[in-house]
Structure formats: C-alpha cells, structure tokens
Chains A and B, each alone.
Chain A
Amino acid sequence: QKEVEQNSGPLSVPEGAIASLNCTYSDRGSQSFFWYRQYSGKSPELIMSIYSNGDKEDGRFTAQLNKASQYVSLLIRDSQPSDSATYLCAVKFGGSYIPTFGRGTSLIVHP
C-alpha cells in the first residue's frame, strides 16, 4: 500500500522561530510533491510544489526534497501566529495521476 506519513503533532514553535514539517512516502517512483495549508474549518490551500531533489524557496517557505531517502520537508522561517494551521503533504505516486494526502501536521505558533 502506497502511503504518505506525517506526524500529526501538534508542533509548537515560538514566534520568529523556524518551523520544520516532515513527510515521508513509500513509493520510490514518486515524481510530484505538494504542501497544502489548511486553517481550521477551511479548505486546503496549495502553498508549495516541488519536483526535483534539493531546495525550493518561496518567501518564508522552503520545500526540501530528498528522493533517495523518500522524504519531503517544509521549513517556515520567521514563523508567525498566522501560520498556525494544519499542513498537508501530498505525493503523486509513480503511475498515478492523483496525489495521495497525508494526515497533516498541526502547527501552533505561539507569541
């Protein structure tokens, strides 16, 4: 069974710190990786996508992909209370055209 694993948390960090969210996946042939943010009671919102090994930066967000170790992470620099949300990792497994979602990690940024 192909799976996407995330620690459900909550991950609690102080304002201004770096929040590190991790995701592992089971299919070595996976090609596309996504991070979504979901505020309580709201729908998921795409914040990052990454397709090749290495880092991809967008503002305060950095996605890191390591296909050999089968993990993808999301770093949030200078965390703000408004970043408090559940972060969903989604992976498009090889041979599939539909991303599979993890359970999400709850992030709490406290002032």
Chain B
Amino acid sequence: ETGVTQTPRHLVMGMTNKKSLKCEQHLGHNAMYWYKQSAKKPLELMFVYSLEERVENNSVPSRFSPECPNSSHLFLHLHTLQPEDSALYLCASSQDLVSGYGEAFFGQGTRLTVV
C-alpha cells in the first residue's frame, strides 16, 4: 500500500446511477488530486485541493463533483455518466503545492465502467 487508499477498486455503473469514489491518505499531506487515465492518453488532471480548498478545476463536466471534507479525505461524486467516462480514476496526494517539488503519491485507482 502506498499510503493513499482508494475505494472501490472496481465499479460498474449505469448511466442513470449515482455513485461516489473515495480516497484517503495517511501521509499527512496537504494537497490532493483526482486524475483520469484513459487508454492511450496521458494522465488528465481533473481537480486539485489544497488544505481542503479547490484550487484547480480543469474544465471537468459537472457530472463529476469533488468533495474534500478534510485534508485526509477526497471524494468524487458521479452522476449521469457517459460510456466515454469509463477509465481508471486515480487519487494522488503531495506534501503541499508550494514546496516547489511536487512529488505525488498515487492510490491504486478505481477502474470505472459505465454501461
């Protein structure tokens, strides 16, 4: 385990369902991220939180809704998704955003399939 835990590991959902992805980090980090990884594409940054404040939203559709209740937990709420949203969703954390280094540590990911 990397210190960043994601649940569930696999999720199959219909286009009308509502589900949530959960991420928890045990590293004492102040920054957390959601990434999307599709086949043959680079990692796509979705959201960034620093000290529970959202600092970046990379033009992500509103059917993805993040929530960061504290610096250790991050959620991604999903509703009315499309089949093209099927991908590996990765959570990551780093010490903070201003240290200048930015080593990010990733969770194991949630493999999402939208049917």
Contact = CB atoms under 8 A, between A and B. Distances in A.
Judged by DSSP, the binding face of A is: loop
B105 to A, nearest CB: 7
Candidate in A8, A100, A101 with the most chain B CB atoms within 10 angstroms = A101
Interface residues of B, number: 23
B42 A103 contact: yes
Q: Is the interface of B mostly helix, strand, loop or mixed?
A: loop
A101 B90 contact: no
Interface of A: 4, 8, 31-32, 34, 41-46, 49, 51, 88, 90, 92, 97-104
Interface of B: 2, 33, 40-43, 45, 48, 56, 90, 97-98, 100-109, 111
18 contacts: A8-B40, A32-B100, A32-B101, A32-B102, A34-B102, A42-B108, A43-B109, A44-B90, A46-B104, A46-B105, A49-B103, A92-B102, A97-B97, A97-B98, A98-B48, A98-B97, A99-B104, A103-B40
